[in-house]
Structure 1
Amino acid sequence: MTTSLDAPPIAIEPDADVAQATPEFVLPPAKEKRLSGLAPVAASFRAGAQIGARATTRVVRAGWGLVAPYVEVVSGLGALVLLSGIVALVLGLLLGWPELTFMGIALLVAVLVALLFLIGRSTYSIDIELNPRRVIVGDRAIGRVLVTNIGKRPSTATTLEVPVGEGLAEFAIGGLQPGENTEELFAVPTNRRAVILAGPAVSVRGDQLGLFRRAVRWTDQIELFVHPITTRLHPTAAGLVRDLEGQITKKITNNDISFHALRAYVTGDDVRYVHWRTSARTGQLMVRQFEESRRSQLTIISSSDTRYFASDAELELAISVTASIGSQVIRDGTQISVVTENRVLKTHSVTSLLDDTCRIEPLTGSTATARDFAREATKRLPPPSVVVIIAGSLMDASDYRAIQRLFGGETNVMALRIEEGARARIQDVAGLAIVTIGALSDLPRVMARAV
């Protein structure tokens, strides 16, 4: 019998039953039992470690609270002099260098002498006053610090520090007899709109070299509001809505003040609205129908995003325009809401509105588009009857139109485009009045024409 060498090879596949019968690696029962017995021990160890870490943190915090008052009196220079003195003294003694030893002793003596200036307690009563508490940009504001020694012993000389905005006012307070007081005045810069914080008043006791410094806080901070410059508007121009009963809507209701028509009585109707004369003539009860009205609601959408303004001065002009319109509307008794990117301004009084305009800060890119800003800022406000959009010269007309489309057809929308130095004018863009304002003095005349 012959065998062909060209016969194809035979593929041998593994037996499925044999593959399935191959056992997996399994821990011996004794070892598995020992490992399972160690799990509670590991859990207890982790819990103990966590408890220990928390206890250590508490101890460290408590310890720091005890030593902090003593460590904080040492300035950076004082720590350097103290460390240098110790190192110089130790090296001088070990190496036998008299010069190094003398230098270490001199530095440590200087530290001990400086410590003597911290001895003593201050018994002051300190008051900070600002007169007035609210000013307009450019007006003069004076601060007053009254220091009184309320102790039974004469006080030693000290230095009083009062932070004022980004600056610091320093006063040298001499020794005061019991009950004696001294007064110090300081000027507050009011060249820009802001909320300026004055205080806290801090008395500083220390040496002339500045090795040690012990500060005691005596007062809290007080606020000085530097209001934006505003202008008075004609009441009807600022109110923008000159009806006394509110804007009439097309919605029909059973009780309001704007009469619409008569209809047949339906069970449940209020008999107070039955028109008896018509009912007697027709032989059928007739009741009044009304057009729903609402009180005028003005919403001012004022942007403070720097991408819409060509300069800081343009932004400040926009805030002045916002404050001017809002103040007049509040005086006229019309309901108003004023929103910016990061706040809803208080409008229950003219003063509260002006105070909040001082807190408006320029920002960049808070929302993707102007429409997103307007939608987010107004979604929780009452439905407006009039909307005023205030932005800089870099906002496109398409952005104003996008904001306009957020509101219904019954809402009157006006856009104020602030461009410093530009000629005042009014443009109609697809039914939207865009008013360009180049100076605050243009606002009364332009608003009177726009409405």
Structure 2
Amino acid sequence: MTTSLDAPPIATEPDVDGAQPTPQFVLPPAKKKRLSGLAPVVASLRSGARAVGNGTARLARNGWSFVAPYLGVISGLGALVLISGIIAFVAGLLLGWPELTFIGIALLVAVLVALLFLIGRATYSIDIELNPRRVVVGDRAIGRVLVTNVGKRTSTATTLEVPVGEGLAEFAIGSLQPGADTEELFAVPTNRRAVILAGPAVSVRGDQLGLFRRAVKWTDQIELFVHPVTTRLHPTAAGLVRDLEGQITKKITNNDISFHALRAYVTGDDVRYVHWRTSARTGQLMVRQFEESRRSQLTIISSSDMKYFASDAEFELAVSVTASIASQVIRDGTQISVVTENRILKTHSVTSLLDDTCRIEPITGSTATARDFARESTKRLPPPSVVVIVAGSLMDASDYRAIQRLFGGETNVLALRIENGARARIQDVAGLSIVTIGGLSDLPRVMARAV
């Protein structure tokens, strides 16, 4: 048997079971060197392909960002008419159909005529005002749009669109002389508690067929706060712990305001608290002891979970009750925290509180139990001296009791059960007062009896 000189050497390895060895081919050193020399070329080709791909993608993005504003003025109907006109015109020429060619020309002419309506620049100054910016549910709110031509030429007619909440106000603005202005009024619906966004004001130019539409934004959004209906409470009823020194607790301390008892002097006691008259009578130094007093801190836990409410009206009544109590407490100067499942309300002023109540939205299934909700929402708040729980008619007495057990025995807990249309009453459940409120008018009378 002859062996070619160019053939690669063959290496054999014996199999484990003693079978015929399997031949293995090994590349000669010359071919290994040729393949290793091609590696830098392949790597450079790959890097070049990546660079070309990245450059192409960057060029496509820049090109689209340049073209997009111009293509954005074409409506869906305009794009359909333009494409149909081109197809009809080309097909008519290729197939020799004069009728199809005429249809294509008519469509393209319509597109060209519609495009002429976009020519020109708008030189407006537009202001949106809401008067007032804060209203109560059911009050009247009026918006005003002032359009001024600040250019040096007469402006062309345009359409002005102002989104108001979920609606849209449209105004036809005629041509204006330089420096001239026009005023448009619109009503804002205030039939429910909400934060209503008005704006931005957008001027729209286009043709009557709707083939092209160019919109220019002129203003930002402004907010209208529709506050919940509230009622005024008697200060002592709303504050619950309205005092000058704070709330007296059962904890005994060596220095405070509320006197508790006398005890024998111990080394280190402040001599300022020695009761000299009693010390002279007993022949032993006696010092005063005090009951610790703390600054009043009211916490309102108001649930927004719809599993505790029988209807939307009941939920809105609960928000009104919360806002009424918190507003009076803030006026009285008592420290207060108001929490719901998804927010801690601002309480540094009555206005900020009512603004935040406009943002309370009903939710579903935020926490497994009412106790979990109360624990999570109050764990970062200052220790309260009084807790008020506000929930709907579907919250059980056991849920109120579970929340009560979160706080120490020195904390007064009052539960407000909101049931729309129910008779106002107060129930005592294992030492917890549960107050049923059927209407906002019941609140002042019931709170005065509950505290």
| In 2, Cα distance between equivalents of 1:325 and 1:188 | 28
| 2:164 paired residue number | 164
| In 1, Cα distance between equivalents of 2:313 and 2:302 | 15
1:403 CA displacement: 0.9
Cα distance, 1:44–1:233 mapped onto 2, change above 3 Å: farther
| In 2, Cα distance between equivalents of 1:46 and 1:301 | 64
| In 2, Cα distance between equivalents of 1:125 and 1:36 | 71
1:55 CA displacement: 5.6
When the two structures are superposed, what TM-score results if normalisation uses the length of structure 2? 0.87
1:429 CA displacement: 1.0
| 1:264 paired residue number | 265
| 2:430 paired residue number | 430
The answer on whether the counterparts of 1:320 and 1:440 sit within 8 Å (CA) in structure 2 is yes
1:131-146 matched pairs, under 5 angstroms? 131-146=131-146
SS at match of 1:106: helix
| 2:421 paired residue number | 421
| In 2, Cα distance between equivalents of 1:253 and 1:351 | 39
| 1:377 paired residue number | 377
When the two structures are superposed, what TM-score results if normalisation uses the length of structure 1? 0.87
The answer on whether the counterparts of 1:149 and 1:178 sit within 8 Å (CA) in structure 2 is yes
| In 2, Cα distance between equivalents of 1:287 and 1:58 | 84
The answer on whether the counterparts of 2:250 and 2:410 sit within 8 Å (CA) in structure 1 is no
| 1:336 paired residue number | 336
Q: Would you say how many aligned residue pairs link Structure 1 and Structure 2?
A: 427
SS at match of 1:387: strand
Identity, % of aligned positions: 84
Unaligned 5+ segments in structure 2 are 1-15
Name the aligned partner's letter for residue 120 of structure 1.
G
| In 1, Cα distance between equivalents of 2:212 and 2:157 | 16
Cα distance, 1:29–1:340 mapped onto 2, change above 3 Å: farther
The answer on whether the counterparts of 1:278 and 1:286 sit within 8 Å (CA) in structure 2 is no
Cα distance, 1:203–1:382 mapped onto 2, change above 3 Å: same
Name the aligned partner's letter for residue 430 of structure 1.
A
1:400 CA displacement: 0.9
SS at match of 2:362: coil
Cα distance, 1:38–1:107 mapped onto 2, change above 3 Å: same
Deviation by residue 1:105-128 (Cα, 9 ceiling, x = unmatched) = 111111111111111111111000
The answer on whether the counterparts of 1:263 and 1:289 sit within 8 Å (CA) in structure 2 is no
1:209-288 matched pairs, under 5 angstroms? 209-260=209-260, 261=262, 264=265, 266-267=267-268, 273-275=272-274, 277=276, 281=280, 288=288
1:12-411 matched pairs, under 5 angstroms? 58-260=58-260, 261=262, 264=265, 266-267=267-268, 273-275=272-274, 277=276, 281=280, 288-411=288-411
1:65 CA displacement: 2.0
Name the aligned partner's letter for residue 144 of structure 1.
R
Name the aligned partner's letter for residue 364 of structure 2.
T
Cα distance, 1:194–1:44 mapped onto 2, change above 3 Å: farther
Give the stretch that moved more between structures: 53-62 or 233-242: 53-62
Name the aligned partner's letter for residue 264 of structure 1.
Y
| In 2, Cα distance between equivalents of 1:43 and 1:405 | 71
| In 1, Cα distance between equivalents of 2:133 and 2:86 | 52
SS at match of 1:322: helix
SS at match of 1:371: helix
1:242 CA displacement: 3.5
The answer on whether the counterparts of 1:134 and 1:225 sit within 8 Å (CA) in structure 2 is yes
1:292 CA displacement: 2.6
> What is the RMSD computed on CA atoms of the aligned residues?
3.1
1:63 CA displacement: 2.7
1:447 CA displacement: 0.5
Matched, 1:441 2:425: no
